[in-house]
Amino acid sequence: MKPETLTTQERIVFELRELYLGCGYRPYKVGKFEEYDLYMRNKKFLASEQVLTFSDTNGKLKALKPDVTLSIIKNAKDDGRSQKLCYTETVYRVPRNAYGFREILQTGLECIGRVDDYAAGEVLMLAARSLERICERYVLDVSDVGVLSGVLAEEPIGDADCARLLSLVGEKNLHGLSAACAEMGVSQLTSERLTKLVSACGPLQETLDRVELLDLPQTSREALAGLRRMSDMLTAYGIGNVNLDFSVVNDMDYYNGLVFRGFVEGIPAGILAGGRYDNLLLRMGKHGEAIGFAVYLDQLERLASAKPAYQTEALVLYDDQTDPLEIVRATEELCARGVSFRVQREEEPCPTCREIVRLTKEANI
Amino acid sequence: MKRMINIALPKGRLGEKAYALFARAGYDCPELLEENRKLTFENESAGVRYFWVKPSDVAIYVERGAADIGVAGKDILLEYAPDVYELLDLGIGKCRMCVAGPKDFSDSHTGILRVATKFPAIARRYYAAQSREIDVIRLNGSIELAPILGLSDVIVDIVETGKTLAENGLGVLEEIEPISARLIANKAHYKFKGEEIETLRKMLERAVNA
């Protein structure tokens, strides 16, 4: 197949599927529709709470799925065995600060059942390699929500205040963070710990070296130890471009450990998001552990791809005097040479091409 | 190779004050203040490219990556909640987001409170936190007129000195949030121009604290 046959999006879908299948992830297909109730119960897990709904023929309220993970978890067998699944699906949702619903193609994978260090490291490796396949200039930001939750657990603050502090961490908003800590009566020690964690951002291994020297609670240290094991695995895989960044914060109602987000140069928003979501499994009445990520493919058309020099390689021109069999012979010859062509009447506007095959009366004189 | 930082500045007095800070921090670009028809202004040696945009559009330019960083009022950030980093409080353009109304107004909580504002999201969020049902009346200007003419009970707006309110028999009833100009950055661009943006942030912080 010629490279120009595929659009950037198609090429990446193909390459990512090959990558995931190569590591034993089984393709998984979910339906386009899902019961609305599933999303009602897990609104905060969704990237956008707005869902496209309709009444099914039996009167049940259905939705065009805005998310794939919830459907996979809902249907996952709860038999203690590990499942490694990958998918490419279309979801329907309102992107942040956009007007109206959009159809978004996303691909991703889920590892459900038992998630040990190897399984988590493999998912991180696949996230990094997914980004690498999309663009050589990429960054994968990783964090562990356990580091921040360990620090916040030392303070007698409610869920709303906790969410507000995490939101400020997500904005790297140091001035807002210290003001909010003062307002909430959070101790100076916790305020300083949060500031230091948000400020510590950079290459995973080196930044971990620095963060491990900080005075942190035991639960935070355990989460850091987990990040260190991930860092060692990524080094063994030969993967760079991974940063430690505690501003990657996901909803703690659903996520409970490793969280990560991926960026590629040329696209102004994150295109990969994932993490460990045992809490979601628990909320959905399932046992075990889970980790996964999604790659949002809708923005890939913004990546510059090399434009072909010609709209078609060969242009076959004919007129009323041309014998159709002559056109067939000419196009078959082009096919045999592997040349792409367009056949058209001579008087029509010509696209750009490398060669012209003229089968008109004028050419035969 | 040094990568250029694209900076969106808000048109008007706030933008000029913000530029003065950037200039003091070593990122000057004198042609920015000249009267001409240019739309972008560059200082290659300092590694910056500026452009003026409508104050309420700065966050959009930054969130969508047309600018790497920008200067936006906290009022705009609270209203539109763009997915950006908020890196520094520049300490300029200070004012307060307030609930204002007739000085003798007292909310009886017997009906729906009518709130006129340019900031419907902020108003909704503020009253939702108090479980207070409100009727948001979205206006684009002369907000103070609304309670005077009976269009609304109160307004949610930014208050700088409170002089306009006082001259019209109105006053601040509640303060929602202090407002000032903030340095914001596109999250993805921060990953690839992080060094340049962080250096600029530190220089600006020094200029702010000087």
Taking only the tens place, the pLDDT of each residue in A269-314 is: 999 999 999 988 888 888 889 999 999 998 887 776 666 677 888 9
Confidence (pLDDT) at A1: 66
Spatial distance between the Cα atoms of B50 and B32, rounded to a whole number of angstroms = 8
Classify strands A33-35 and B5-10 as parallel, antiparallel or unpaired: unpaired
Nearest to A268 among B65, B86, B89 (CB): B65
User: Which chain A residue lies closest to B74 (C-alpha atoms)?
Assistant: A176
Nearest to A268 among B87, B189, B194 (CB): B189
Cβ-defined contact of B83 to A97 (cutoff 8 Å): yes
Confidence (pLDDT) at A16: 96
Distant-in-sequence, close-in-space partners of A331: CB < 8 Å, separation ≥ 6: A316, A341, A343
CA atoms within 13 A on the CB side of A285: 4
Q: Is the pLDDT of residue A19 over 60?
A: yes
Chain A residues touching B191 at Cβ < 8 A: 139, 141, 243, 263
Percent of chain A's residues with pLDDT above 90: 65
Classify strands A242-245 and A138-144 as parallel, antiparallel or unpaired: parallel
The 10s digit of each residue's pLDDT in A199-248 is 999 999 999 999 999 999 999 999 999 999 999 999 999 998 999 999 99
Q: What is the mean pLDDT of residues A319-325?
A: 91
Tokens matching residue A120:
């988590």
Confidence (pLDDT) at A363: 65
Spatial distance between the Cα atoms of A252 and B190, rounded to a whole number of angstroms = 25
Q: Computed from CA positions of residues A300, A301, A303, A306, in that sequence, does the dihedral angle turn out positive or negative? A: positive
Which of B44, B61, B138 is closest to A268 using CA atoms?
A: B61
Confidence (pLDDT) at A122: 97
Spatial distance between the Cα atoms of A120 and A126, rounded to a whole number of angstroms = 10
Three-class secondary structure of residue A172 per DSSP: coil
Classify strands B84-89 and B113-117 as parallel, antiparallel or unpaired: unpaired
Tokens matching residue A32:
């386009």
Spatial distance between the Cα atoms of B175 and B168, rounded to a whole number of angstroms = 19
From residue B176, alpha-carbon distances to B85, B86, B119, B126 in Å are 22, 19, 12, 7
Q: Which residues of chain B register pLDDT less than 70?
A: 1-2
From residue A73, alpha-carbon distances to A52, A261, A281, B109 in Å are 21, 21, 7, 45
A80: left (phi over 0), alpha (psi -120 to 50) or beta: left
Confidence (pLDDT) at B149: 95
CA trace torsion B84, A103, A45, A240 (10° rounding): -60
Is A305 buried (19+), middle (13-18) or exposed (0-12) by CB count in 10 A?
middle
Q: Is the pLDDT of residue A365 over 80?
A: no
Confidence (pLDDT) at B2: 67
Confidence (pLDDT) at A316: 92
Which of A148, A120, A163, A179 is closest to A246 using CA atoms?
A: A148
- Count the neighbouring beta carbons within 10 Å of the beta carbon of residue B34: 8
Check CB contact of A243 with chain B, cutoff 8 Å. Answer: yes
Q: Which helix (H) or strand (E) holds A183?
A: helix A174-184
Confidence (pLDDT) at A304: 65
Mutate to test the interface with A, among B3, B191, B202 (most CBs of A within 10 A): B191
- Count the neighbouring beta carbons within 10 Å of the beta carbon of residue A202: 14
Chain centre distance of CA B1: 33
Percent of chain B's residues with pLDDT above 70: 99
- Min Cα–Cα distance to chain B from A33, Å: 29
Confidence (pLDDT) at A204: 97
Three-class secondary structure of residue A74 per DSSP: helix
Check CB contact of B109 with chain A, cutoff 8 Å. Answer: no
Q: What share of chain B is helix, strand, coil (3-state, %, to 5)?
A: 35, 30, 35
The 10s digit of each residue's pLDDT in A95-121 is 877 788 999 999 999 999 999 999 999
Spatial distance between the Cα atoms of A329 and B167, rounded to a whole number of angstroms = 89
Is A47 buried (19+), middle (13-18) or exposed (0-12) by CB count in 10 A?
middle
Which of B78, B101, B144, B16 is closest to A164 using CA atoms?
A: B78
Residues A181 and A172 sit within 8 Å (Cβ to Cβ) = no
- Chain A stretch 43-72, residues whose beta carbon is closer than 8 A to a beta carbon of chain B: none
Entry field: residues in chain B: 210
- Min Cα–Cα distance to chain B from A332, Å: 48
Tokens matching residue A135:
């663009």
Exposure letters B90-127 (e unless 16+ CB within 10 A, then b)? bebbebbbbbbbeeeeeeeeeeebbbbbbbbebbeebb
Spatial distance between the Cα atoms of A276 and A143, rounded to a whole number of angstroms = 11
Check CB contact of A41 with chain B, cutoff 8 Å. Answer: no
Cβ-defined contact of B85 to A247 (cutoff 8 Å): yes
User: Which chain A residue lies closest to B90 (C-alpha atoms)?
Assistant: A175
User: Which chain A residue lies closest to B61 (C-alpha atoms)?
Assistant: A268
User: Which chain B residue lies closest to A172 (C-alpha atoms)?
Assistant: B85
Nearest to A267 among B63, B80, B188 (CB): B188
Q: Is the pLDDT of residue A353 over 90?
A: no
State the DSSP code for A46.
S
Chain A residues touching B131 at Cβ < 8 A: none
Tokens matching residue A45:
């897990």
- Count the neighbouring beta carbons within 10 Å of the beta carbon of residue B19: 22
- Min Cα–Cα distance to chain A from B188, Å: 5
Residue pairs spanning A and B at CB distance below 8 A: 46
Q: Is the pLDDT of residue A256 over 90?
A: no
- As a whole number, the mean pLDDT across chain A is 91
Identify the residue whose tokens are 């140069």: A265
Strand order in the sheet with A61-64: A33-35, A61-64, A53-55
Q: Which of A5-14, A125-134, A230-239, B147-156 has the lowest mean pLDDT?
A: A5-14
User: Which chain A residue lies closest to B183 (C-alpha atoms)?
Assistant: A173
Q: Is the pLDDT of residue A348 over 90?
A: no
Q: Which of A14-18, A250-254, B35-39 has the lowest mean pLDDT?
A: A250-254
Spatial distance between the Cα atoms of A102 and A50, rounded to a whole number of angstroms = 11
Chain B residues touching A201 at Cβ < 8 A: 194
The 10s digit of each residue's pLDDT in A151-161 is 999 999 998 89
Confidence (pLDDT) at A364: 59
Cβ-defined contact of A97 to B85 (cutoff 8 Å): no
Cβ-defined contact of A263 to B89 (cutoff 8 Å): no
R_g of chain B, CA atoms, integer Å = 19
